[in-house]
Amino acid sequence: MSNSARAGAMLVTKVFILVVSLWGYNGNTWVYTGNQMVLKEPMPKEQCEVIAGNWQKFEMNKYFRFSIECIEDIRKET
């Protein structure tokens, strides 16, 4: 799948940012705690996925977990 699209005569390339967020388990479901870290360096999706894959998680508390995701940066399309 391509990360590019044509908008009129201009080629638009999607860029992504790496987001690490903290989630908590409330006994029924996982909920976002409101805490996250964002790598402020827009990049192609493939590069972001490589960086995300280089993390190793150690989650010792069953009520909290980290999520590492590549999110499209809609503010910085080029």
Q: Is the pLDDT of residue 3 over 70?
A: no
For residue 44, CA distances in Å to 4, 15, 34, 53 come to 10, 5, 26, 14
Name the residue with higher pLDDT: 75 or 60.
60
The predicted model scores a pTM of 0.76
The pLDDT value given to residue 28: 97
- Phi, psi angles (nearest 5°) of residue 54: -85, 0
The 10s digit of each residue's pLDDT in 12-53 is 689 999 999 999 999 999 999 999 999 999 999 999 999 999
Q: What residue spans define the domains of the chain?
A: 4-72
Give the confidence band of 74 by pLDDT, cuts at 50, 70, 90. Answer: confident
Enumerate residues 6+ apart whose C-beta is below 8 A from 10. Answer: none
